[in-house]
Each structure stands twice: as structure tokens, then as C-alpha cells.
Structure 1
């Protein structure tokens, strides 16, 4: 049908559909890393728990060594298809990592023709076989780890992305190609800078980072110091690329273990809430994938066993309950910098989705009393979600707004757990 013959009502409907699609496509990504694609001991039921917590993307490994256990013997194992089908059914925008070596090439990176040719064949096979359900492909994982300051290593990584990206796009035009998966050490060693200078954004849709700070020491391992680092990186990367660089934090979290660099499960939950809301203040950050969904073991003193949102038996840790409570406010709410405050350990971040307006407020260090301001609340009760009691959700407080004319204020007690306070009447 000619567009000129479409009626006004149909044009309005088309406009709404396009608007809805764009909004959904641009929603902030609430992701988690999983190990259930390759580990039968992590049941796919865990993806349902992730979905209940508001997770919109899951990330896992499409191991080259699994896809090609012997030269030229390519396969897709049933657990991969099961993981992909489950994630897709839950609208969890799967991300698959294309990486790691194989035993028959000495687990070498594809830096020479002898390794690069079979790697690209694996990329072609896997992206054709997995098809449209995959929404993101990450080219390798933590390539930088063996030489964060090695310019030859970064040069060879750009070369493999340049060759892999067209293959991925040919087989999966709907998927985004992410490059980097760079560690904190690599970020500090200039690895991302060299990728950008070499023009990697000509081939990739975004840069993926693993900017852990849990071992940075006191005053440098908090969400607030972390976001300052992210802002500095964002400015630097924009300058190097001569345009904003989409940043995908495909691994990020704080482990809740007993020992060096660890925090308890309560603080892990508080850090999760603060980090995710702070990330929404940086437009270049498109999403965070919390590492990871399930603890990898039961040893309380083992860091690698304690990154998860869930325990090994799938019981929720406090961080899971917090994510479940805050995720509706992360995806489609936009940050209002002009109405927000970040100063002297006090954070009052204002967000709106066009219908509802909220302030997310907390204080680092000591607990303190502070005021929040709104308009036209008509002395109504405060509606508050205290992430320290996340399972209660948004509740009606006994406290009321105090209004003089159109201006309304309320005094709130702030600590390290963010409080989400509704600023809009009747929402």
C-alpha cells in the first residue's frame, strides 16, 4: 500500500509503534553473566530467577574448544541451544563470547594465519548456527590479560576484530559486535586507548569493559570512586575516537567473600544499587552485566566463589533482592543532571520516565538527615523504596510532604543504602 494512502489514524499508530521500538531498543541493559551455557550444575531455572529480578540480557561463553573439539569437526552442543532458547523465551537478549583457544592449536590466540583461519571458520559456523536469538557477540574475552601494555597485542586484536565483524554481521545482521572485554589492568595500561586510536570503532558497535575496583584499596573501591573513573574514561575515549564511544560493562561487581578485597553480602547489595544508579548518569554506558548470577562455590574465603547474586543452591543473596527492587527504575528512566546533587558524600539523583519522577538519595560515611524537594504533592504521604529493606518495595510512609504553596519538602535519613522517593503525585 502506498504510504500516501494510509489514513491519519494508521499514521499515528505507525508513529507510536516506531516510538515504542526506539525506546525499547535504547533501554539501559540490566545484565548478568551466567555459566549455565556450559555447566549443567547451574540449572536453566536460574534464568527464570534472573528474569524475575528484571534482567534483560545474559552473557555466556560459546567456547571455541567446545565448538571444535578436533580440527574441522564443528558442532553446537545441546546445552547451548537449550540456554539460548530459554534466554530468548525470557526476552533476555543473549550475549555470546567468541573466544579462547583450542588444544590442537596450543590454546593460542588468533594472531597468526595458522590460528586465525580456523578461528574465523569457528566464528562463521557458530554465528550461522545460533542465528537471530543472539543479540550481542563479544570478540574474545580479556585478550589484554597477558600483556596490558603490549602494543603488538592490541594491534593484533584490532586485526582479528576487523576480520570477524563482517562475518558476524553477514550471519546475524541484528546483533551488535562488541570489542575489548578489557580488564581493569588493561584499561589502566592504555589497551583501550590503543584500540580506539587504531580505529576499532570502524568495525565494532561498542567497547566492552571489565572495570573491577574491589581490590583498589580504601577510598578507591567504592561505587562513587568507580563512577569518577568511568567518567574520566568516557571523556578520554570520546576524545580519542572523536565521538562518543558506547560502553558496555560486560563484567562488573564486588565479591562478598571473607578476606582480602572482600566485603560482606550486605555491603555488596548497597554497592550494587549505588553503582547501577550512578552508571545511569553516564550516557555512554549502555548497560552493566553483573558478574555473576550464581556463586561459583561455597567457600566463604574464596573470592571467585562469591561474586554471585544467588547462592549455589539458588537462594537469593541481599544483592538479588536489591536488583529486583530497583530494576524497573534502571531501564527506561532518564537522568536529570540539572536537578541532581553529587557533593560531599551526599547523592541525590533525579530520574524521570516522562510519567513518574523519582529521586534516588544516599549518603556515604555517616548517616545524615537531609531534605528532598518536590512540587504539588499536596501534603501527601511520602512514597519510599528503601533498598535496605528491598523486599518491601515502594511503600507509603507515615511521613508526609510539608507544602507551602506549590513547593513541598520532606526530611529523610540517608545512609549507604539508596532510598528511592517518588516526586510525582498520583503515579
Structure 2
């Protein structure tokens, strides 16, 4: 099968890794990373949790051309008796089997131990020392077999930690830990590569690590870049983000390239909100890996994950895999098999100009001189016919395949017989493509894009694919002077807990609101009851403390915005007084203070009342008349000291990911 990783492929991996490992071992400082391997195709496994059928999984790994697994050896599993470290036999077995199969292991060194700091993050001197001893022990056991180690997984998010510690992984404690662990790992085996914690809470958290000097105590930086549950959810959106991450990292490396790996990324195929059709997930995988090769600082991506963790169609964690729980391949497995050889063994050359930013034609070159083109469309629907012209004197036939399908031989030449009088074009090849990439291999040095034709074929019109926008709820605003309609938010269904101890009942946190309007203004009054008021933040961080967030989307008029457009405000009673910050604008205006909005915020014991007067022009709404309908969402944050622990919401699309399709609708009576 195309993409299989045989002995020759594994030799190339080993040589590339040797070059990587030969690069400077004194930490990720500017100029020390020129020897890294071109790219690693990886996937995450859970052998450390006893999941999967080891040899069968590894066989499917190599058949898909996957070079590396990412798994773990938990601290709590290695040190089950304080002071006594024992490697689990299951870990040693899967490492040995993976190496024998030609698959490179990446071992995560992670999670807390109940004997240290009460099972919290290792912060005390004793806990840091205990974690360092555990790392030394694991690296010693893997010497000569494991060369990639990652120090923690999602420290910032709390993955693998008891619920009471979720979200409490501060950057200062992590860098302190890494400064101790990094040199001790290198002392055991100078050849290993130390990868930093996989940041999952965004690029601002990553930058906070940079400011603390994390580049001085790791070899490679890591991110988890999931975007499946938001608006900017395509591989092309991911590409934009990664370019921004590179710019940020260079500010802390003297402008030098900082090697970056994405140790988790994927589009789960569960059925409810945030799930992705399996075919589209496969297409996104192919596009993700092809786009990653256009960024030289991206050194590898580990798809999360290889195997579904169960059979629940509504649970995202049961549906991340390339294969089902019984190893039945999903479209994403075939997509990986279809692109792995190209992304492993070819280098990116250029993007061909197609005259449309949503038409992607990327050129790659193999060591033997062969070239490949990857062609796809980022539009959500319709077919697009791409005409490629070869200026060579005698164009040679090429291999052509849609990723995941069988390759075919194709000679150059096309004739648009369906257009009266159209001549034969012997130097042209046309392909009609959608979101799944097509690959063309051969002598393509003289190929350019000659034209584009949209061929309307709206799959969304098929009855089975009709998508209705059903709002999360609906309410009414009354005209100024009329009786108001008060909407309660305290129902348990409206509460999202971020920590286990959050919001016992309505005495802890409760809220209600009402909305009135006239032609030019929307008036929103929110009454919050909170047993412990805490707002110590300022500027764009006020959402982390007690306060509200409110969002709008205009529907009416010929200039109706796309469904991704919205306006969102942060509203708080800060130490310096009432505060309104525009986080996002439907009009495209920059984030910042919004003085046009009037806010009165008064606190009386456990009760805070926010009274907002919002000029419609300031929040991108049309003039308001009876019958006007807008998208509307409201969120009340709760922080009793330290961190945000819960929020109430009316509508959705703010707290769990920015998505105006989840707003409720508000009609003007």
C-alpha cells in the first residue's frame, strides 16, 4: 500500500533522527536546531493505559506510514511505593515491540504522584526532586531505544490530574520544574531530545512560558492545536495560527527558528456539536499534514489519536481515532496512508498561483528529482475544475490519485467537448476537486495553473445534508416604557463548572436579566447574586474574574454578515470602576475599550447589578424596530478567589468556544 514504512523508510527515519539528535544539546537557544529531521508523521496511543492490541496496532501504524507513537509512563505507575521505582512491564513491552516494528517511541513523563504535594503538581523541593528521579529512572530504562521525551502533557489544562487541580498548572512552576529536570535527563543520555509541555490553553500561555525562559531548558517546543469545536476549524485556519506562533517564538530566540512539534491534533468524528463527518476528518488530516510541510519550523505532528477509545457516538474522546475501537480503518487512516510518503520524504517547494486564495496547489520535490503537486479547494461546497498546463516539450505521463484512493496513470491532454468549438489542449490536464486533496506525481517542473472553473455541485442541497440553524433559546426585548421580561439564568442546566467544587446551589451563584430597546439603543440589565465577589483583573483579562460577557450578531438587512461574524464585550466592576472591553467586533473593528457604551455597575453585599446602555452602532446592530431579531448570548463568570471556577449562560457560543451559531435569538416586541 502507498505510504507503507518499510526498512528503507525506517533507515531514512533513523538517519534523520541522528541528525536531529546531533544538533546542539544545551537547550533550545537560537541557532542550535539546523540538524532536526525534516518531519515526523506520528500518532498518539494509549498502550500505557492497557488499551489496544499491540502488534495489530503497530502493523496498521507501519502500513499507514506512521513513523512515531506517543505514549506515557506515568509517575504514579512507576513509583507506586514511595522511594521505590519499578518500570511497568507493559511499558517495556510496547517500547521493545515498537522499536522492533520500526516505529519511533515518544515517551511522556507526566502527571502527579500521591506521595508528593498531596497529588498536586510537583512544586515543593521534595516533589520536584521526586519527579526528577522518576525522569532519570525512565530515561535510563529507555536508553538506546527511546530518544524523544516530553516533560508533561497539558500542564496548563490539568489533563491526568485530579479534578480539583484542573487549570491550576501555572507557568512559573512548570519552568522551575523543567530547569531541574532538563539537565538531569541530558546527563543520563545526551542523545535524547527533550520536548516541552504540550500547551493546550492557547498561545498566550505559551508566550508566558517564553517570558520565563523556557527555551533555555528544552530542545523543542510543543503545542496542542485543536480547533474542531470553533469557527476557525479548518487546516487552513490552523496554518494562519501556526504562522503567528512562529512570529511569537522568534521574539524570544533572537529571530532564530524555534523547532515546534504538534503532539496532539485531530478532528473527532462524534455526532453532536463539534463532531466532524469521518470523510471530512480524513480530508482535514491530509490537508493538515500537507500544509505543515510548508512551515519548516514544524518538525512533526502526532495525530490524536490512533484508535477510538470506545463506541459512544456522542462522546468526543471515543471518536478521535484513525481506526475504530476494533481496528477497522476510518477515512483518516486511508488519508494518512495516502500522504505519509509525500510529507515524510519530499520537501516543500512553492505554492502555485491559482488566482484564488481558497484554491491550494502546492509543489513538493523528492530527493530523486520527482515532483508532486497537492491540489484541493478550501471552499465548503461545490466542485472546482483546476486546469494545469505543462510547458515541457514532451510532457510525460503522471501518477494521479485522490488521497486515500488508488493511483492511476494519466497522460497530458484535455478536450472540453461539452463546450462548443473547444479545441484539444495536449499540454493540459484538468481535475475537478473538492476538499479532499489530489496528488499528482511525475516530472512537473514546467507545470503552472492555467485556469479555474467553478462547477456548481452543492452537496448541502441533498436532503440528508440539510443543515438548520436551531438557536439554543429565544427571548424578547420590550420597548422602553413597557413591562420588562425577566429571564432567570440560575437553572442547573445553565451552569458550566470549570472545577469540581464550583457552585453548590443558587446561593453560591445566581443571575437574571432583562432587555429593553428603542430604535438606536439596546438596554441590558443583569442582576448577579454571588456569595464571594472577586475581580482583581484588568484590561482584556477581566473575564477571568467576576463579571459578565455579552455577545451579539446582526441578522437583518441585505448586508447580513456571514455566520462567523459577531460582537463580544467583557463587562466588569473593577477596582477602578465599571469597565467595558470590546473583545471582537462584527464590523472588524480592533479590540479595545468601548467608551460609547454606558455602564453603571453597583455592588450591594452579595448582589451586583450591571446596567448597560448600548448604542446599536457601537455594537454592530441595525436600528431596532418591532420584529427585529438578533443573535444574543450572555455569560456570568464566577471567581471566588484565585481562578474562574464556573459560569452561568443564556445562549452559548462564548465560554466553550467562540461560535455565534450557538447564540440564542432575541426578538424585539
TM-score between both structures, scaled by the size of structure 2:
0.56
Contact 1:199 1:241 (C-alpha < 8 Å) held by counterparts? no
1:373 equivalent to 2:364? Answer no
Q: How far did 1:332 drift?
A: 2.1
Tell me the alpha carbon deviations over residues 262-290 of structure 1, each in whole angstroms, 9 at most, x when there is no partner. Answer: 01111110100011101111111000000
1:195 equivalent to 2:214? Answer no
1:396 and 1:250 map into 2 onto residues whose CA distance is 36
Instruction: Please name the residue that 2:64 is paired with.
Output: 53
Contact 1:34 1:59 (C-alpha < 8 Å) held by counterparts? yes
Instruction: Please name the residue that 1:424 is paired with.
Output: 443
1:144 equivalent to 2:156? Answer yes
Contact 2:351 2:361 (C-alpha < 8 Å) held by counterparts? no
Q: How far did 1:236 drift?
A: 1.5
Equivalent residue runs for 1:83-102 within 5 Å: 83-102=94-113
Tell me the alpha carbon deviations over residues 234-265 of structure 1, each in whole angstroms, 9 at most, x when there is no partner. Answer: 11211232221111100011101100100111
1:195 and 1:374 map into 2 onto residues whose CA distance is 49
CA distance change for structure 1 residues 377 and 193 in 2, over 3 Å: closer, same or farther? Answer: farther
1:422 and 1:350 map into 2 onto residues whose CA distance is 10
Contact 1:374 1:423 (C-alpha < 8 Å) held by counterparts? no
- Structure that is richer in helix per residue: 1
1:88 is paired with a residue whose SS is: helix
The structure 1 residue matched to 2:279, chosen from 266, 280, 294, is 266
1:61 and 1:20 map into 2 onto residues whose CA distance is 20
Contact 2:398 2:443 (C-alpha < 8 Å) held by counterparts? no
Instruction: Please name the residue that 1:169 is paired with.
Output: 186
Gaps of 5+ in 2: 1-13, 21-34, 159-164, 416-425, 446-669
Q: How far did 1:216 drift?
A: 1.1
The structure 1 residue matched to 2:239, chosen from 220, 224, 227, is 227
Contact 2:157 2:167 (C-alpha < 8 Å) held by counterparts? no
CA distance change for structure 1 residues 384 and 82 in 2, over 3 Å: closer, same or farther? Answer: same
Q: How far did 1:40 drift?
A: 4.8
CA distance change for structure 1 residues 408 and 162 in 2, over 3 Å: closer, same or farther? Answer: farther
Q: How far did 1:338 drift?
A: 5.9
1:241 is paired with a residue whose SS is: coil
Contact 1:35 1:42 (C-alpha < 8 Å) held by counterparts? no
CA distance change for structure 1 residues 343 and 231 in 2, over 3 Å: closer, same or farther? Answer: farther
- Structure that is richer in strand per residue: 2
Instruction: Please name the residue that 2:452 is paired with.
Output: none
1:43 and 1:313 map into 2 onto residues whose CA distance is 12
Equivalent residue runs for 1:66-145 within 5 Å: 66-105=77-116, 106-145=118-157
Contact 1:64 1:98 (C-alpha < 8 Å) held by counterparts? yes
1:31 and 1:19 map into 2 onto residues whose CA distance is 15
The structure 2 residue matched to 1:155, chosen from 172, 180, 183, is 172
Q: Please tell me the root mean square deviation across aligned C-alpha atoms, in Å.
A: 2.6
1:102 and 1:320 map into 2 onto residues whose CA distance is 36
Equivalent residue runs for 1:246-265 within 5 Å: 246-265=259-278
CA distance change for structure 1 residues 131 and 20 in 2, over 3 Å: closer, same or farther? Answer: closer
Contact 1:255 1:307 (C-alpha < 8 Å) held by counterparts? yes
2:182 and 2:266 map into 1 onto residues whose CA distance is 28
Contact 1:378 1:401 (C-alpha < 8 Å) held by counterparts? no
2:444 and 2:364 map into 1 onto residues whose CA distance is 15
1:338 and 1:363 map into 2 onto residues whose CA distance is 13
1:145 is paired with a residue whose SS is: coil
Instruction: Please name the residue that 1:361 is paired with.
Output: 375
Tell me the alpha carbon deviations over residues 175-204 of structure 1, each in whole angstroms, 9 at most, x when there is no partner. Answer: 100002100xx224x111121122211111
Instruction: Please name the residue that 1:182 is paired with.
Output: 199
Equivalent residue runs for 1:21-60 within 5 Å: 22=19, 26-60=37-71
1:295 is paired with a residue whose SS is: coil
1:267 is paired with a residue whose SS is: helix
Contact 1:309 1:320 (C-alpha < 8 Å) held by counterparts? yes
The structure 2 residue matched to 1:409, chosen from 428, 431, 447, is 428
1:351 and 1:291 map into 2 onto residues whose CA distance is 26
CA distance change for structure 1 residues 385 and 342 in 2, over 3 Å: closer, same or farther? Answer: farther
1:142 and 1:20 map into 2 onto residues whose CA distance is 25
Contact 1:68 1:74 (C-alpha < 8 Å) held by counterparts? yes
Q: How far did 1:400 drift?
A: 3.6
Higher RCO structure (Cα 8 Å, ≥6 apart): 1
Instruction: Please name the residue that 2:318 is paired with.
Output: 305
Please say which structure displays the higher CA radius of gyration.
Answer: 2
Contact 2:396 2:442 (C-alpha < 8 Å) held by counterparts? no
CA distance change for structure 1 residues 341 and 240 in 2, over 3 Å: closer, same or farther? Answer: farther
CA distance change for structure 1 residues 159 and 88 in 2, over 3 Å: closer, same or farther? Answer: same
2:84 and 2:45 map into 1 onto residues whose CA distance is 26
Instruction: Please name the residue that 1:327 is paired with.
Output: 340
Contact 1:54 1:327 (C-alpha < 8 Å) held by counterparts? yes
1:258 is paired with a residue whose SS is: coil
CA distance change for structure 1 residues 374 and 158 in 2, over 3 Å: closer, same or farther? Answer: farther
2:19 and 2:240 map into 1 onto residues whose CA distance is 29
1:28 and 1:276 map into 2 onto residues whose CA distance is 10
Instruction: Please name the residue that 1:236 is paired with.
Output: 248
Tell me the alpha carbon deviations over residues 273-321 of structure 1, each in whole angstroms, 9 at most, x when there is no partner. Answer: 0111011111110000000110000111110000001111111111101
1:267 and 1:342 map into 2 onto residues whose CA distance is 25
